[in-house]
Structure 1
Amino acid sequence: MEHITLLIGIVIITALVFDFTNGFHDTANAMATTISTGALTPRIAVAMSAGLNLVGAFLSIEVAKTISSGIIDEGSGVQPEVIFAGLVGAIIWNLLTWLAGLPSSSSHALMGGLMGATIAAVGTGAVNGDVVVMKVLIPALAAPLVAGIASLCATRLTYRLARHAQEEQTAKGYRAGQITSAALVSLAHGTNDAQKTMGVITLALVTGGALAPGSDPPVWVIASAGMAIALGTYLGGWRIIRTMGKGITDIQPPQGFAAQTSAAATILASSHIGFSLSTTHVCSGAVMGSGLGRKGGVVRWSTAGRMVVGWALTLPAAGLVAAGAALLAEQGDWGVTAVAVLTVAICGAIWLRSRREPVDHTNVNDVRPAGAPVPAQAAAGEAPEPAGVVTTALQAVAPAPAGTGEVSAAPALSGTAGPEERPGERPGEQGAHAAPGRPASASASSVS
């Protein structure tokens, strides 16, 4: 019993670490558009988002029930070390995608990790396939479409209602609207995503015999999950904020307001009915919809395509890592220890790699072309260091930030010119104006 108690404690700590990574990984969902348009300063934005994530954690437990007693069969013989392995897969995938600045789904990383570890340890019969299809896969496909269509309509309506107003007159109203809608998204994120960690901890307590099957999360579980995701949110996932705010489309305040309002409504509705929805999918779809909704707006479809590739990889990638961790953890105490040590080493290596090119609140809205030297290298007059194999592979699915030449490759919508085109010039001439003194081919090339 002491071994089970210690193992449950390890699982709870690991679940809270995942919740922490979920917080800074998904800060962009609520605050990227608000920060990119200047409605709020970066530090104030993440502080507000953190507080509302904490409040949101106490509003519902429907999603927690889906995680704790829906996806995994509690009576199938799943042990706490299997849940530990599932969390390890989710944490590693979260950190890898954060390093690459890729807005992927923390929710799907968690579910992929849990399913991969369970299948490796117990078998496919322990996973409730119908629940996975109805409450995970179908919402994953529907969420970005629903949020995108809602955002497209809201954006067009917003511009139509304000078409006769002066921009100076509407600026304050849109700023207030963006702040309010960002607050709603933050509240919705805490309501939806914090519950997933509550569900995992509850599942661990059930498998360890500390709770009866079908029990609701205890109050201390709700509070600890809320605080972990709030702390992670406050630290800010600046790399992903840069991608969400600058890489998908050029967002103006009316678009930001429409996108965030649509995303908040979609997430809150899904939380109410117990759908374990990915806030990343919802918010990304809403941002793309806002780009389609503005006349003359451009969505960078190549960037969106790479994001979709990353989304498709999340479930299997986290599942494979978790399956390997589960097979090792099942070898006994030494196996659990080995998994823990390897996880800490991998996380430490990812963090050290991120320090070579830090992104924080001071430079989150800056865009540096790929291959250019980082500031420290530039000051020393050094040439950029060539990318390694892992970095190159991650960049293959990571969205390219705005300003790197991908806009010229994106299709214009409704026959309108992209933001880098000039009246009267042919499409092939726009690169000549992109940067004085540089060849047109260099400015128009893709650097992803």
Structure 2
Amino acid sequence: MPPTPLAAPGLKKTLTALHLWGLAVGLVISGEYFGWNYGWAAAGPVGFLVATLLVTVFYVTFVFSFTELTTAIPQAGGPFAYAHRALGPVGGLVAGYATLVEFLLAPPAIAFALGSYAHFLYPGLPVLGTALGCYVIFTLINLLGIKESATFSLVVTVLAVAELLLFMGLLAPHFKTENFLAYPVPVSAPGVLAALPFAIWFYLAIEGVALVAEEVAEPRRTIPRGYGYGLLTLVGLALGVMVLSGGATPDWRRLSHLDYPLPEALALVLGPGSRWTKFFASIGLFGLVASFHGTIIGYSRQVFALARAGYLPGFLARLNGRQTPHWALLAGAAVGAGALLTGTTDQVIILAVLGALVMYIVSLLSLFALRRREPELPRPFAVPAYPYVPLVALALAVVCLGALVYFNLKLSGIFLAGLLLALTAYRTLSPHILSEKGGVGK
């Protein structure tokens, strides 16, 4: 059995509630810029609205539940640390694998969208080359240290939120209910279920705040505030962007397969020559930059935590002079660059959502297990209305995962094959890891 996630080395505690709000919103906000519109292709605007409301209920109940875990066990491993403590090494491995899939595969989708936006603005820029360049630039920024990285994320996130508020303000006067209901797609259970992954994209990765919990000053007070204000911000932005885009544009179908739906929506409403269209397109990268940068922070901390616990090669847990896991950053960038060369945006989104849903389910099971096994564990934030709130979250997570697997059997098979490979490697290598570490750390 590998060491617990509590083993040295440790990370510097510098983050405030404002930093966490910036990370929570920044991790997710690219979901308001692109990706969600694929849900219109699956279910139409009305069916996708139903899917989005269901997913919003899920994330509200999940974040309440997850905050209890994050404040009780504020470690860099996040879901891996909770599952390891509650369910043992295999549970920790499943949670760690699922979190890695989510945080390693979300950035390539965002990077590809960054490349698409840049190409939209400057047709001479290649999409793939720009996406790969983003990995180089933002990996270098993250090597500066967590406080510097989080401050950068906060600044870019504030600009992204302001940009989305401007976008909604420009579209609101043009909203017409008949536009939202035009070209109707019958609302059906299969359509709503098929659209769920793209509704999840609105909120995907907010749980990444847990991956920097070890670097938070006063985590028991700071984390609930960061999560709460972050989720409230994202719910308003997600519903506002989606409803106004569908109601202001004359033909929502023209947005349903693009990686840059927001500038295209403004072009359809105000005209491609409008100064607002050009202005928004020119600054339309802030949200994508915020999420891309935040997910790099997230995957580097997850790789670091897994390596520190012995599940990944130990050199990935080394820190540079700025207390940054530099090898973890570089390894994650290499995986992301490889994904850019092999997948399409919608497929990468689905794989990332698969990882997230498995991680959500394991985390919720860990919450129930810890409540039963460690009733005396200090819980500075206790989920309200326990056990009903986490039960609602668990039920909705299972429904979302079942729908995702049903409509994406091939990608689900790839995800499962990776998990089985990880479990096999763990079973094969764990005695060797244990002998190298010299026992189980505490």
TM above 0.5, yes or no, is no
Scaled to the shorter chain, the TM-score interval is 0.3 to 0.5
Please report the TM-score for the alignment, with normalisation by the length of structure 2.
Answer: 0.33
Please report the TM-score for the alignment, with normalisation by the length of structure 1.
Answer: 0.33
Query: Which one has the largest radius of gyration?
Result: 1
Which structure has the highest helix share of the two? 2
